[in-house]
Amino acid sequence: MSGHASNYEPKSAFAKWFHERLPIMDMVQGQALDFPTPKNLNYWWTFGGILAVMLVVQIITGVVLAMHYTPHVSMAFQSVEGIMRDVNSGWLIRYLHSNGASMFFIAVYIHMFRGMYYGSYKAPREVLWMIGVLIYLVMMATAFMGYVLPWGQMSFWGAKVITNLFSAIPWVGDSITTLLWGGYSVDNPTLNRFFSLHYLLPFVLAGLVVLHIWALHVVGNNNPTGVSVKSPQDTIPFSPYYTVKDAFAIVVFFMFYAAWVFFSPNYLGHAINYQEANPLVTPAHIVPEWYYLPFYAILRAIPDKLGGVIAMFGSILILFALPWLDTSKVRSGTYRPIFKQFFWLFAINCVILGFAGSGAPDNYFLSHEPADPDKWALTYKLVGQICTAYYFLHFLVILPLLGLLETPKPLPASISDAVLAKSHPSTAYVPAE
Ligand code: HEM
């Protein structure tokens, strides 16, 4: 890793001997402990650390679950029930893992929206951002395959709906679906390959996270002002300042996580997944986990299957292009008065998309009544369509235009100036030209 030379001095004869053979402590000191970090990072910057810890929690609980799980259609459901009832603390390990997935997604959404608000995707952090988007895609695939493993009704039918989408791809679609299924329907080979990949992908994620942090350490952290580090006065060493701050945030986040695990462990799941998969009984309403709902709404917004699939994947892939779609020279939303409002509108639009993805398409929005086909009605489908259009409008029209038309507020001359102006308002900073 480049970015910062370390001051590491081996203190004992053994440390010196080891250092000459593997200078790993040198790297730890330079990259983790002494790393110069902007001194004004707020709590939104603790979510990267929270995510890293959550990945470790998911891997550890997952490896323990795999010791007791049987990836076979005739035994998977019972083996999960066995984990819940017979394995010592099995219920805890399983609830930590299933709710851990939701916590992981809450943290990643906060992390991504933080990046969007403060313009962390802009030069020179484009590659860092794009590795992040790749991480997000792999997370989605991993969680999807994990949800299939208990082989409940929603596992089975969710797998069926999502794998079927690939068949819409012209020419190769059917072959891809057959390959995913390992046959001509969702069955034992499908469960086997999903189990294998669900075990593998978290380690791929860990590798991507190493690349992500490497890229971060080459270009350095962004910060709430979006102004680049200009002098050593703008930074403080990562440890102890941010190790302590991150540790505190992780403890608070774990209290939130524990509240779900111990008080409402099934709230974020689907009751119907406690019924074993039955290929002959289709559930009345097939819905994915909450973290996929906005994309599910986009998929259903387009009346054509292939169109829906393109829109759904397009809505994620467009994030790769974000650094070039946002034309503003100013990074942080703090100094972009109009962007700030559009940012919040976009966030609300994503939440509404989530609601739109949760209901049966032809029902009235936020009511269980089926819509009258002869009357104009605000259905889940219609709301999904409006919000889908706005989602793409935000990236393809609003962001590119806003960067050209908006007049940003004056930026502080440096991070230190912004910090001083906050703690001593009388020493107001001089805006940079
Ligand atoms: C397993 C998932 C992930 C882990 C463990 C992770 C870890 C981290 C860490 C430790 C940092 C530095 C601290 C911080 O800024 O919070 C960071 C920064 C960053 N991450 Fe992630 N990340 C993950 C996913 C993502 C995703 C999905 C994206 C975007 C799509 C992303 C984009 C960024 C960006 C742009 C920064 C630089 C932030 C700045 O300095 O302003 N990350 N990440």
Query: How do residues 143-190 score in pLDDT, each as one tens digit?
Result: 999 999 999 999 999 999 999 999 999 999 999 999 999 999 999 999
Domains delineated in the chain: 35-288 (1.20.810.10), 296-331+337-407 (no CATH)
178 CA to middle of ligand 1, Å?
35
The reported pLDDT for the residue numbered 427 is: 54
228 pLDDT above the threshold of 90 = yes
Distance 48 CA to ligand 1 centre (A): 5
Structural contact between residues 410 and 432, judged by C-beta atoms closer than 8 angstroms: yes
Mean pLDDT computed over 305-314: 97
User: What's the rounded Cα separation, in Å, for the pair 47 and 35?
Assistant: 18
Residue 355 predicted with pLDDT over 70: yes
Atom of ligand 1 nearest to the CA of 49: 10
Please state the rounded mean pLDDT for residues 350-375. Answer: 88
CA of residue 132 to ligand 1 center, whole Å: 6
List ligand 1's pocket residues with C-beta within 6 A.
45, 47-49, 51-52, 55, 108, 111-112, 115, 118, 120-121, 125, 128-129, 132-133, 135-136, 205, 209, 212-213, 216, 221-222
Of the chain, the percentage scoring pLDDT greater than 90 comes to 90
Q: What is the pLDDT of residues 69-89, one digit of tens each?
A: 999 999 999 999 999 999 999
Mutate which of 212, 229, 234, 239 for ligand 1 pocket (most atoms within 8 A of beta carbon): 212
Q: How far is the CA of 1 from the centre of ligand 1 (A)?
A: 17
The pLDDT of residue 385 is 98
- Atom from ligand 1 closest to the CA of residue 112: 29
Q: Decide if pLDDT at 20 tops 70.
A: yes
Torsion of CA 321, 386, 283, 280, to 10 degrees: -70
Which residue, by CA, sits nearest to atom 1 of ligand 1?
51
Cα of 282 from ligand 1 centre, angstroms? 39
The stretch 18-22 carries a mean pLDDT of: 97
Residue with the smallest CA separation from ligand 1 atom 42 is: 132
pLDDT exceeds 60 at position 14: yes
**CA 313 to ligand 1 centroid distance, Å:** 21
Which atom of ligand 1 has the smallest separation from the CA of 45? 16
User: Distance from the CA of 360 to the center of ligand 1, in angstroms?
Assistant: 35
Give the pLDDT score at 5. 67
Per-residue model confidence (pLDDT) at position 431: 56
pLDDT in tens, 78-120: 999 999 999 999 999 999 999 999 999 999 999 999 999 999 9
| Atom 12 (ligand 1) nearest CA | 48
What are the E-state strand segments in 15-147? Answer: 36-38
User: What does the pLDDT average to over 221-227?
Assistant: 98
Ligand 1 centroid distance, CA of 102 (Å): 17
Is 371:406 a contact under the CB 8 Å cutoff?
no
Lowest mean pLDDT among 360-369, 405-414, 421-430: 421-430
Q: Average pLDDT over the chain, rounded to whole?
A: 95
Q: Which atom of ligand 1 is nearest the CA belonging to 115? A: 35
Distance 249 CA to ligand 1 centre (A): 15
Q: What is the predicted pLDDT for the residue at 267? A: 98
Question: In what helix (H) or strand (E) does residue 235 lie, and over which residues does it extend?
Answer: strand 235-237
Containing H/E element for 208? Answer: helix 188-219
Q: Which residue has the higher pLDDT, 32 or 337?
A: 337
Question: What pLDDT is recorded for position 4?
Answer: 61
Q: How confident is the model at residue 374 (pLDDT cuts 50, 70, 90)?
A: confident
Encoded amino acid at 338, one letter: I
Instruction: Find the helix packing angle between 293-301 and 380-393, rounded to 10°.
Output: 100
pLDDT in tens, 386-400: 999 999 999 999 999
The string of DSSP codes covering 290-346 is: GGGHHHHHHHHHSSSHHHHHHHHHHHHHGGGGHHHH---S---GGG-HHHHHHHHHH
pLDDT in the model for residue 426: 59
- 332 CA to centre of ligand 1 in angstroms: 16
Which pLDDT tens digit goes with each residue over 33-49? 999 999 999 999 999 99
For ligand 1, the distance from its centroid to the CA atom of residue 64, given in whole angstroms, is 27
Greater pLDDT, 422 or 193 = 193
At 422 the pLDDT is: 79
Provide the percentage of residues in the chain whose pLDDT is more than 70: 97
- Give the residue whose CA is nearest to atom 6 of ligand 1: 48
Which of 125, 135, 138, 318, when mutated, tests ligand 1's pocket best, judged by the most ligand atoms within 8 Å of its CB?
A: 135
Question: How far is 1 from 48, CA to CA, in rounded Å?
Answer: 18
Q: Which of 35, 51, 218, 229 to mutate to test the pocket of ligand 1 (most atoms within 8 A of CB)?
A: 51
Does residue 238 have a pLDDT over 70? yes
